[in-house]
């Protein structure tokens, strides 16, 4: 009897602490799933071996083997991308344009792996048969190495669910948008394979659902959603007509929500990996899902601090940071104009400019891993220093600004409150405060965002069509990634992409703009005329466009892309990364894309100026500068 009372009290204790009674070891599912993972790698490699066995370039046979290999790869992509991100990104499924990774030294990664193989096979490059075989062999080697590694790599069940969520995010932000499968245009079919792979892994979670009834409804809901989502993808494989936005709202969002709820109900732990996405959030594409601090390099040093942000706002609007007390950050980054100055730098008749580049918007500026059009700064803090020094900009040194600010009792007090270590007015603290303010300029509350969150009354049919064109036929979304719409690469957001569009020197010019862009920073010839992909959020209020401000309207920008960028306009540019061909858009389609861009406007809560600036004895603001 005493024994039973003892057992009962343990049960009560466990129940009262909220720990699941149906405890499953934290990697039970992962262990059951592992043989499937290893087998998929083997199957993929068998298909690659079939390519190697072909004696001649028989395109239809090669395509068949390629497609089967891709299918097995896509089934497990969500694991490989998470556990082996560098291998996946550079060797297995590397992009079709050269990549430069500052983290990995000055090495340039040329296209290789699946995408290169796809290009040779689908473009029918018969004379590259040997190269094809070399590519296939090294891909096989890569996969075999990974297979060995995966035999005992540690996986846990909570993490496995997070990998699934990341794959859903990858579908919506990349696979649906032609980021890979760029030549076969099989992105939608491939998305179905990915989903099939995720679904397969999820079925192993049935042991939780069987042992713990509280997880059962979410398990069943997910299984039903996987099934109908797959059906939807199988029925609509055409890249151009696929309704991406509808799919995101109807399937991706609810699947994510139910996976999160299942995760919590099963009492699985959440990974402590520092990452850009807060995956324990039920809405995958909302502001809350983004961890802005991830985008700063000095992670521990850059935690958000409201007092610093408030001080940063004062500094941002204060002309006394400049040499002549005549110019603040807001002079060029004017909140009324979406934090731009609306000025066009290029005169239409030639190459004369009063400043080197067009002022970019600072809305959503923090969601990037590189700053300035050429990416010469890697974090916001670093960027302030550059601006204050620049003779075309504020022409002062931070030391000069510091001694002015030190004359102000009020500023000294504000710095003391904002920086608890009492380090006072230093160059770093000025930069840090301004950066914290910049991080508050987030605009995820546009009509488009509300639609994505489920309010279907927010967008016109034209704007919905516009998004589907943007992400589909017009290929915009393969560079401007949903939902941030800049070139920071989802879902890990560890780098920002640079692209060569061949923007002309002025409207009508048959020469490319002479600004060398990213080449100035890297010295790598592939990056000659390459620029960082900016966000198109708020583009309706940030004209003129492009680094040289060449276009005044969004219609002109769309037309530039429609014609195939610089090369399409007849400019001789060899390394353009934008497709040269016309996009073949009709008048309605062009209009729809512009409608979609306009639905991304949101400046709620971010445009106010400070009521007043702190006093600084003996330093007078030039009239009109504030
Ligand atoms: C004279 C006009 C001017 C002033 C004043 C100015 N900026 Fe800028 N800002 C620019 C231009 C032009 C660029 C783009 C330069 C480039 O890419 O080389 C830029 C780029 C930036 C960027 C990078 C944005 C991105 O997406 O890469 C940030 C951040 C920024 N400025 C913040 C500031 C801050 C903070 C201040 C005040 C300390 C400031 N700016 C003052 C014109 C100005
Ligand atoms: C190959 C990658 C790529 C593709 C595809 C692409 N863009 Fe861009 N986009 C860029 C880059 C890079 C820039 C900056 C170019 C510059 O400053 O010279 C840019 C700039 C823009 C701008 C100007 C933003 C500003 O504030 O100045 C808009 C608007 C824009 N793109 C919309 C689109 C639309 C619409 C499409 C599809 C029709 C599209 N983009 C396709 C890479 C791309």
Q: How confident is the model at residue 393 (pLDDT cuts 50, 70, 90)?
A: low
CA of 20 to the centre of ligand 2 (A): 50
Average pLDDT over residues 617-622: 88
Average pLDDT over residues 459-478: 97
Query: Per residue in 163-184, pLDDT tens?
Result: 999 999 999 999 999 998 889 9
Instruction: Quote the pLDDT of residue 76.
Output: 97
Average pLDDT over residues 383-392: 68
Instruction: Quote the pLDDT of residue 19.
Output: 44
Report the residue among 315, 318, 333, 427 best suited for mutation to probe ligand 1: largest number of ligand atoms under 8 A from its CB: 333
Instruction: Quote the pLDDT of residue 299.
Output: 55
Domains 28-287 and 304-438 fall in the same CATH topology? no
**Which of these is catalytic: 28, 54, 125, 393?**
393
Residue of 589, 603, 454 lying closest to 540 (CA atoms): 603
- State whether the beta carbon of 373 lies less than 6 angstroms from ligand 1: yes
Residues with CB under 6 A from ligand 2: 373, 470, 474-476, 478-480, 499, 501, 503, 531, 533-534, 536, 539, 542, 545-547, 554, 557-558, 561, 577-578, 593
Instruction: Quote the pLDDT of residue 367.
Output: 94
Instruction: Quote the pLDDT of residue 193.
Output: 98
CA of 534 to the centre of ligand 2 (A): 7
CA of 605 to the centre of ligand 1 (A): 21
Instruction: Quote the pLDDT of residue 15.
Output: 44
CA of 471 to the centre of ligand 2 (A): 13
Residue of 408, 328, 415, 314 lying closest to 616 (CA atoms): 408
Q: What angle do CA 609, 437, 476 make, to 5 degrees?
A: 100
Q: What angle do CA 236, 240, 244 make, to 5 degrees?
A: 65
Instruction: Quote the pLDDT of residue 7.
Output: 52
* Tokens coding 99: 């990549």
Q: How many CB atoms sit inside 10 A of residue 238's CB? A: 10
The pLDDT of residue 13 is above 50: no
Instruction: Quote the pLDDT of residue 625.
Output: 84
The pLDDT of residue 491 is above 80: yes
- By alpha-carbon position, which residue is closest to atom 35 of ligand 2? 558
Provide the angle, in degrees to the nearest 10, between the axes of the packed helices 306-317 and 409-418: 150
Contact 395, 453 (CB under 8 A): no
Helix, strand and coil percent figures for the chain, each rounded to 5: 50, 5, 45
CA of 475 to the centre of ligand 1 (A): 29
Cα torsion through 94, 99, 102, 103, rounded to 10: 0
Ligand 2 atom showing the smallest separation from residue 475 Cα: 5
What is the DSSP code (8-state) at residue 532? Answer: E
Ligand 2 atom showing the smallest separation from residue 531 Cα: 12
Q: What is the pTM of this model?
A: 0.93
Q: How confident is the model at residue 81 (pLDDT cuts 50, 70, 90)?
A: very high
Residue 487 burial by Cβ neighbours in a 10 Å radius (0-12, 13-18, 19+):
buried
Q: How many CB atoms sit inside 10 A of residue 204's CB? A: 18
- State whether the beta carbon of 393 lies less than 6 angstroms from ligand 1: yes
Q: Judge whether 393 counts as a catalytic residue.
A: yes
Q: How many angstroms separate the CA atoms of 331 and 318, rounded?
A: 10
Domain map (residue ranges) of the chain: 28-287, 304-438, 447-598
- State whether the beta carbon of 125 lies less than 6 angstroms from ligand 1: no
Instruction: Quote the pLDDT of residue 388.
Output: 67
Residue 350 burial by Cβ neighbours in a 10 Å radius (0-12, 13-18, 19+):
exposed
Average pLDDT over residues 21-46: 88
What is the DSSP code (8-state) at residue 240? Answer: T
* Local structure of 290: helix, strand or coil: strand
* Local structure of 65: helix, strand or coil: helix
Q: How many CB atoms sit inside 10 A of residue 305's CB? A: 16
Q: How many angstroms separate the CA atoms of 584 and 576, rounded?
A: 19
The pLDDT of residue 187 is above 60: yes
Q: How confident is the model at residue 305 (pLDDT cuts 50, 70, 90)?
A: confident
Query: Per residue in 512-570, pLDDT tens?
Result: 999 999 999 988 888 999 999 999 999 999 999 999 999 999 999 999 999 999 999 99
Instruction: Quote the pLDDT of residue 110.
Output: 81
Q: Residue 23 to residues 157, 185, 211, 360: CA-CA distances in angstroms?
A: 13, 45, 8, 53
Core vs surface per residue 392-412: b (16+ CB within 10 A) or e: ebbbbebeebbebbeebeebe
Instruction: Quote the pLDDT of residue 354.
Output: 46
Q: What angle do CA 515, 106, 294 make, to 5 degrees?
A: 85
Q: 93 pairs with which residues across the strands?
A: 113
Contact 389, 323 (CB under 8 A): no
Q: Which ligand is nearest to the CA of 432?
A: 1
Least confident of 4-18, 23-37, 579-593: 4-18
CA of 480 to the centre of ligand 1 (A): 21
Task: Give the list of residues 6+ apart from residue 566 with CB closer than 8 angstroms, or none.
Answer: 501, 502, 503, 504, 512, 573, 576
Q: How confident is the model at residue 392 (pLDDT cuts 50, 70, 90)?
A: low
Q: How many angstroms separate the CA atoms of 131 and 447, rounded?
A: 48
Task: Give the list of residues 6+ apart from residue 220 with CB closer than 8 angstroms, or none.
Answer: 209
Q: How many angstroms separate the CA atoms of 474 and 480, rounded?
A: 11
Contact 447, 599 (CB under 8 A): yes
Which architecture, in CATH terms, is 304-438? Orthogonal Bundle (1.10)
Task: Give the list of residues 6+ apart from residue 31 with CB closer than 8 angstroms, or none.
Answer: none
What dotted CATH number matches 447-598?
1.10.760.10
Average of per-residue pLDDT values in the chain:
90
Instruction: Quote the pLDDT of residue 21.
Output: 45
Cα torsion through 108, 113, 116, 120, rounded to 10: 140
Assigned CATH class of 28-287: mainly alpha
Average pLDDT over residues 601-606: 92
Residue of 318, 582, 334, 601 lying closest to 449 (CA atoms): 601
- DSSP string computed for 139-207: HHHHHHHHHHHHTT----HHHHHHHHHHHHHHHHHTGGGTSSSTTT--HHHHHHHHHHHHHHHHHTTHH
The pLDDT of residue 216 is above 90: yes
The pLDDT of residue 24 is above 70: no
Query: Per residue in 46-63, pLDDT tens?
Result: 999 999 999 999 999 999
Instruction: Provide the pairing of β-strand 108-109 with 99-100.
Output: antiparallel
Q: Which ligand is nearest to the CA of 566?
A: 2
Average pLDDT over residues 104-116: 81
The pLDDT of residue 16 is above 50: no
């Amino acid at each position: 009897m005493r024994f039973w009372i003892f057992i009962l009290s343990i049960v009560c204790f466990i129940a009262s602490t909220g720990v699941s009674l149906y405890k499953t070891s934290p990697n039970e599912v992962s262990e059951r799933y592992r043989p499937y993972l290893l087998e998929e790698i083997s199957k993929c490699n068998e298909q690659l071996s079939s390519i190697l066995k072909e004696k001649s370039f028989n395109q239809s046979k090669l395509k068949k083997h390629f497609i089967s290999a891709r299918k097995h790869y896509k089934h497990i992509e969500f694991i490989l991308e998470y556990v082996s991100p560098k291998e996946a990104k550079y060797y297995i499924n590397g992009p079709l344009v050269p990549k430069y990774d500052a983290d990995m030294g000055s090495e340039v990664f040329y296209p290789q792996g699946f995408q290169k193989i796809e290009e040779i096979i689908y473009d029918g490059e018969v004379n590259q048969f040997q190269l094809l075989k070399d590519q296939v062999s090294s891909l096989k080697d890569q996969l075999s190495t990974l297979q060995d590694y995966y035999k005992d790599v540690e996986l846990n069940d909570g993490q496995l669910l997070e990998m699934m969520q990341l794959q859903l995010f990858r579908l919506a932000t990349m696979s649906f948008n032609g980021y890979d499968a760029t030549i076969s245009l099989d992105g939608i079919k491939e998305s179905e394979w990915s989903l099939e792979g995720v679904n397969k892994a999820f079925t192993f979670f049935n042991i939780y659902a069987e042992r713990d009834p509280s997880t059962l409804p979410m398990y069943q809901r997910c299984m039903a959603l996987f099934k109908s989502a797959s059906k939807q993808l199988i029925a609509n494989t055409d890249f151009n007509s696929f309704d991406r936005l509808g799919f995101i709202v109807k399937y991706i969002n609810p699947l994510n929500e139910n996976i999160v709820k299942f995760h919590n109900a099963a009492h699985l732990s959440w990974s402590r990996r520092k990452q850009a996405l807060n995956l324990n959030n039920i809405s995958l594409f909302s502001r809350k899902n983004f961890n802005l601090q991830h985008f700063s390099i000095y992670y521990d040093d850059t935690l958000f601090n409201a007092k610093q942000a408030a001080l940063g706002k004062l500094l941002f609007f204060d002309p006394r940071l400049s040499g002549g007390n005549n110019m603040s950050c807001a002079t060029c980054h004017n909140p009324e104009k979406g934090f731009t100055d609306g000025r066009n730098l290029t005169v239409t008749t030639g190459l004369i400019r009063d400043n080197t580049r067009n002022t970019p918007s600072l809305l959503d500026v923090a969601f990037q891993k590189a700053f300035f059009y050429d990416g010469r700064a890697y974090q916001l803090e670093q960027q302030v220093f550059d601006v204050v020094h620049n003779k075309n900009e504020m022409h002062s040194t931070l030391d000069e600004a510091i001694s002015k600010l030190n004359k102000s009792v009020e500023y000294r007090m504000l710095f003391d409150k904002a920086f608890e270590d009492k380090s006072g007015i230093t160059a770093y603290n000025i930069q840090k405060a301004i950066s914290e303010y910049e991080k508050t300029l987030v605009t995820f509350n546009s009509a488009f965002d509300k639609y994505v969150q489920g309010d279907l009354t927010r967008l016109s049919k034209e704007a919905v069509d516009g998004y589907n064109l943007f992400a589909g036929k017009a290929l915009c979304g393969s560079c401007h990634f949903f939902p941030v719409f800049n070139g920071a690469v989802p879902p890990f957001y560890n780098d920002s992409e640079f692209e060569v569009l061949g923007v002309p020197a002025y409207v009508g010019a048959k020469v490319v703009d002479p600004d060398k862009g990213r080449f100035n920073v890297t010295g790598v010839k592939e990056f000659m005329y390459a620029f960082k992909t900016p966000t198109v959020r708020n583009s309706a209020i940030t004209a003129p466009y492009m680094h040289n401000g060449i276009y005044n309207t969004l219609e002109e920008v769309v037309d530039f892309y429609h014609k195939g960028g610089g090369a399409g306009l007849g400019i001789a540019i060899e390394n353009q990364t934008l497709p040269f061909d016309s996009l073949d858009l009709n008048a309605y389609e062009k209009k729809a894309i512009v409608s979609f861009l306009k639905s991304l406007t949101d400046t709620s809560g971010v445009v106010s100026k400070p009521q007043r600036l702190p006093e600084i004895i003996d330093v007078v603001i030039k009239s009109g500068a504030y």
